[in-house]
């Protein structure tokens, strides 16, 4: 399959022409992000929790403290909605009504379950490092059994998903074209800053595999690069 099924749950109801259901578009939005939001319900109360996510094929993972209320609630499996959004531009029109934003978003549905098997959990946590920082795990000390125990890992196979993308200019009404008001798009991006070394052994040089996180680069571009490396190494 190259597309997620279109169902009443994931079908775009508004500006449906912006919607995409193919794996390539949905996965690109997920992979360009470092954080997602997990929406779920506990005892009738809705919650939405931000967390770091990573993808392996059509399966999403996230982790947290074993004491987390969200993770404890998902122990037996719970339906969740995972969203990732990138703001790419402020769209300024000649009327307030036609102002908009350029963006990429993905919404994924599935049943989230805690990974109980210790070996699978360890592999998932190792994959977290490999996905974001290829080459770094070989430099690090191994995880301890207590660290693995203190961390819960959630896995969710994406059963339905959709992406929405707006990436174009101003939609001014023709009759507003004569107004002497600036209109256009102001690009927005998350940029990487200068590396700040730890106070412990600050003279240690930045590892070669971290050079891709150079000051001034776009974070989403780096995230897509590291995902490509992760996929190429056969883990996806």
| Domain edges within the chain | 16-188
Q: Write out the CATH class of domain 16-188.
A: mainly beta
DSSP labels, 159-199: -EEEEEEE-------GGGTTS----EEEE---B-------S
How far apart CA 190 and CA 119 sit, in angstroms, is 35
Residue 120 vs residue 15, higher pLDDT: 120
pLDDT band at 75 (very low <50, low <70, confident <90, very high): low
Which pLDDT belongs to residue 67? Answer: 47
pLDDT band at 147 (very low <50, low <70, confident <90, very high): confident
Which pLDDT belongs to residue 130? Answer: 93
User: Which percentage of the chain shows pLDDT scores above 90?
Assistant: 68
Query: What CA–CA distances, in Å, run from 82 to 60, 128, 160, 171?
Result: 9, 17, 11, 30
User: What pTM was estimated for this model as a whole?
Assistant: 0.90
Q: Does residue 236 have a pLDDT over 50?
A: no
Residue 12 vs residue 66, higher pLDDT: 12
């Amino acid at each position: 399959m190259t597309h997620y099924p279109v169902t009443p749950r994931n079908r775009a109801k508004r500006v449906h022409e912006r919607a995409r259901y193919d794996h390539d578009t949905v996965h690109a939005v997920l992979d360009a992000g470092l954080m997602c939001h997990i929406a779920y319900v506990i005892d009738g109360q809705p919650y939405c929790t931000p967390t770091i996510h990573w993808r392996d094929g059509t399966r999403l993972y996230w982790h947290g403290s074993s004491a987390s209320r969200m993770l404890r609630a998902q122990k037996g499996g719970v339906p969740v909605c995972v969203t990732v959004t990138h703001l790419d531009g402020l769209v300024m029109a000649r009327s307030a009504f036609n102002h908009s934003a350029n963006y990429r978003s993905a919404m994924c549905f599935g049943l989230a379950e805690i990974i109980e098997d210790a070996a699978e959990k360890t592999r998932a946590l190792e994959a977290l490092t490999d996905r974001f920082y290829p080459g770094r795990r070989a430099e690090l000390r191994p995880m301890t059994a207590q660290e693995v125990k203190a961390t819960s890992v959630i896995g969710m196979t994406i059963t339905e998903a959709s992406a929405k993308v707006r990436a174009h200019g101003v939609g001014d009404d023709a009759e507003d074209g004569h107004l002497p008001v600036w209109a256009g798009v102001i690009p927005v991006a998350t940029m990487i800053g200068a590396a700040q070394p730890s106070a412990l052994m600050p003279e240690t040089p930045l590892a070669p595999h971290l050079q891709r996180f150079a000051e001034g680069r776009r974070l989403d571009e780096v995230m897509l690069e590291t995902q490509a490396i992760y996929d190429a190494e056969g883990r996806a």
